[in-house]
Amino acid sequence: MILRLLLSFLFISSVNAAVTEEGFFVYDSTGESLKILNQHKEISIDHRTRTGFEAYGPKGLGKYLELLNLDHDVLAEMHEDNKNLGDYPTPEEIEKQLKDLVKGNESFVKMFSIGESHEGRKLWALKFSDNVEVDEVEPEVKFIANMHGNEIVGRELMVRLVDELITKYKNNDFSIQDLINNSEVYIIPSMNPDGAAAKRRGNARWSDLNRDFPDFTTNDNTNEIKGREPETKAIMLFQAQRKFSLSANFHGGSVVVNYPWDTHADDAPLTELIVDLSKEYASYNEPMRNSTRFQDGVVNGYRWYHVDGGMQDWSYYWYNDLQVTIELSDHKWPNYSEIPQFYEENKESLIRYLSRVHQGAGFNFPKNPNAKGKVEIKRLKSINNDKEMLLGTYPFSGGEFYKVLPLGKYQYKITLSDGSEHSINALVDFDTTNSNGNYQAL
């Protein structure tokens, strides 16, 4: 009770659930310290290892760790090498790089802002499509990086990926043209430009954006933007306007693909598919594939460490947008000269993951673009599975629906809000040359 009162006093200036003004590595090989700190929503836990974990919180966290007699070191003193920090572009220089890449290629890529950071920096997104100004009936996939400002590798890899997609599309690379012609690809290189500029985890208000989303397992279980950080609001509003069915967000501090749930011990829907997608990403990344910490280079989020308010769980739970979290580098802010090597290690994985958005099936109502309702998806009998299986019932709106699925045959039972019903059968394979054919018009 005394410690709880002291904690309340030390953190009294904190108004947000996850503030990152102080960061420490807590040495803990038994997990006992983790149990204690996990009780406090003010503290963000990150990157658990065999020897301990990272802990972030408002001013006063270090004093609290001392009161608990927990062995710890200041993260800034452990990980930041000032020689590494100066070579990276500023957020403004990243903006110019992206605009220069898009210039002259506006027929298949456009750059636009989805909102602004707390300090007024624009949150830039890029859309790739053969009809870039049209909202086509095609599968939608997105990448988001740099939501933790001091985890910088993802931002740099997204800029290089944008460059590669543009170059290969113009050079008639078949796989890239197929991807862009038959889907809508969105890339947000930096969700937290203020944090990147300050070289810190949180945004300009020190808030941990990956603890700021609605969470279906906590009291913050309503999908509303009120009271959230401007960067979080921007992503939430953007997601609500789109129909993403596959996503990834990029972090640093480990080398692994982390898959949902982060916030709950139960398996997420279609966990087998999620694990397969995660393992495929890792299999083309040699350091990830050969990890001695994570089998096959993947890990379930909750089994690694518990996270409430994370983006991947929010995306999957409320929008049926299958999302994983990809940790790209052991050091969050490595020497800038290492970035080309990181890109080479991830390049094939990035493109293959994007292309997996074609592994799905959907429908649309061309004469009723405002149609909404629900769809019940049942997996049908086949050679590989000897019984039917109900996967679930999903809402849809805006006249269309698409879902990434395991390979197989499916039945969609569609019920519109006016009570009318439709039924279609769909075959999910991986014939990307016919990905538009994965939609059936009704």
Q: Which of 42, 229, 327, 345 is catalytic?
A: 327
Q: Which residues contact 74 (CB under 8 A, 6 or more apart)?
A: 22, 23, 24, 62
Packing angle of the helix pair 153-170, 91-102 (nearest 10 deg): 10
3-class DSSP assignment, residue 407: coil
Q: What pairs with residue 207 in β-bridges?
A: 19
Q: Which residues of 296-328 are buried (b: 16+ CB within 10 A; e: fewer)?
A: bbbbbbbebbbbbbbbbbbbbbbbbbbbbbbbb
Q: What distance separates the 2 farthest-apart alpha carbons in the chain?
A: 67
* C-alpha closest to that of 333 among 174, 156, 194: 156
DSSP 348-376: HHHHHHHHGGGSEEEEE-TT-TT--EEEE
Q: Which residues contact 388 (CB under 8 A, 6 or more apart)?
A: 378, 379, 380, 381
d(C-alpha 102, C-alpha 108), whole Å: 9
Q: 139 is written with which tokens?
A: 């599968």
Question: How far from 442 is each of 232, 365, 414, CA to CA, in Å?
Answer: 35, 5, 10
Q: What pairs with residue 361 in β-bridges?
A: 403
Question: CA geometry: angle at 112 spanning 106 and 113, to 5°?
Answer: 170
Contact indicator for 308, 211 with CB cutoff of 8 Å = yes
Q: Using the 8-state DSSP alphabet, how is residue 210 labeled?
A: G
3-class DSSP assignment, residue 421: strand
327 is catalytic: yes
* C-alpha closest to that of 23 among 94, 77, 92: 77
Q: Which residues contact 56 (CB under 8 A, 6 or more apart)?
A: 18, 19, 20, 22, 23, 24, 43, 44, 46, 201, 202, 208
User: Residue 351: left (phi > 0), alpha (psi -120 to 50), or beta?
Assistant: alpha
Residues involved in catalysis: 327
